[in-house]
């Protein structure tokens, strides 16, 4: 099976986005857990903000996946 350049690029882009999505979701979940575990209000706030920012990044990657299909 031979793929043209556009099909190859699409497959590589999907792989890159999938990996980035998994890594970002993992980081976001870690921040949410750290937020729950933290006792200091400043630390809780920091991790809450980080989780929210990563949630926006997850949305961006998911939008990119939809555009590829």
10: pLDDT strictly greater than 80: yes
Domain that holds residue 61: 40-69
Q: How many domains does the chain have?
A: 1
The pTM of this model reads 0.82
pLDDT at 1: 58
Instruction: Tell me the per-residue pLDDT of 31-68, one tens digit each, with 9 for 90 and over.
Output: 999 999 999 999 999 999 999 999 999 999 999 999 98
Rounded-to-integer distance, Cα 14 and Cα 64, Å? 9
Least Cα distance to 60 among 9, 21, 19, 11 occurs for 21
């Amino acid at each position: 099976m031979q793929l043209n350049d556009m099909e190859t690029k699409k497959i590589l882009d999907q792989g890159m986005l999938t990996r980035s999505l998994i890594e970002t979701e993992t980081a976001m979940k870690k921040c949410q857990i750290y937020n729950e575990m933290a006792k200091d209000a400043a630390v809780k706030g920091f991790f809450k903000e980080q989780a929210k920012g990563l949630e926006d990044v997850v949305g961006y990657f998911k939008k990119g996946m939809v555009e590829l299909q």
